[in-house]
């Protein structure tokens, strides 16, 4: 979450428990910090990291070089 806010975006953290007891941590980037809220619905982009990686893979390279 620190990398998300450091790069100028708001984020949400969600924890989900699977039926077999695993606890997953999901991150949602909701928009730019200080942007006005809009009622316009935008499409969802679901991205998932590869095995042996984590969600920082998508933001670790900074604002101009990350997904």
* Interval 33-65: pLDDT, tens: 887 777 778 888 888 888 888 878 777 777 776
Tell me whether residue 26 is exposed, middle or buried, using C-beta atoms within 10 angstroms of its C-beta: 0 to 12, 13 to 18, 19 or more.
Answer: exposed
Break the chain into its structural domains and give their ranges. 1-58
Write the pLDDT tens digit of every residue in 8-36: 888 899 999 999 999 998 888 888 888 77
The answer to whether 53 and 25 have CB atoms below 8 angstroms apart is: no
pTM of the complete model beyond 0.75: no
């Amino acid at each position: 979450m620190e990398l998300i806010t450091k790069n100028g975006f708001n984020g949400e953290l969600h924890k989900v428990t699977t039926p077999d007891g695993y606890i997953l941590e999901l991150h949602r980037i909701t928009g730019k910090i200080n942007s006005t809220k809009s009622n316009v619905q935008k499409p969802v982009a679901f991205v998932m990291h590869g095995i042996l990686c984590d969600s920082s893979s998508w933001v670790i390279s900074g604002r101009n070089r990350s997904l």
